[in-house]
Amino acid sequence: MKYYNIRYVILFLDRMSQVSLYLDDDVQEIIKIRAKERGSSVSSYVNEILKKINEDRPPIELLELFGTWEDDPMKEPEELPWSSDIKRKTL
């Protein structure tokens, strides 16, 4: 009987885009300090900040709806005359 020693190596890679940022020296220094205080890299810290900023934003699909309706949502509707109201029972 033959036995085969097979080893599997599974790597889970979190793919992250690389972005170049041009920061003022004082801003960069603040970011470095804050990242160090949290025990994380500058990249991870900036990633956290950007995630938090975008948490409160509405989904892009909702933003795409703006301007698609015909009426002016900020325009006050005209007041209807009382005669168009239905008759109600007296309590």
pLDDT at residue number 18 = 81
Q: How many domains does the chain have?
A: 1
pLDDT at residue number 34 = 95
- Is 42 in contact with 31 (CB distance < 8 Å)? yes
- Is 35 in contact with 45 (CB distance < 8 Å)? yes
Sequence-distant (≥ 6) Cβ neighbours of residue 46 within 8 angstroms:
21, 31, 35
Residue 63, domain extent: 22-67
pLDDT at residue number 78 = 84
Whether the model clears a pTM of 0.75, i.e. scores above it, the answer is no
Query: Alpha carbon of 74 to those of 57, 59, 71, 81: distances in Å?
Result: 22, 22, 9, 21
**Residue 45 phi/psi, 5° resolution?**
-65, -45
Q: Is residue 11 part of a domain?
A: no
Q: Is residue 83 part of a domain?
A: no
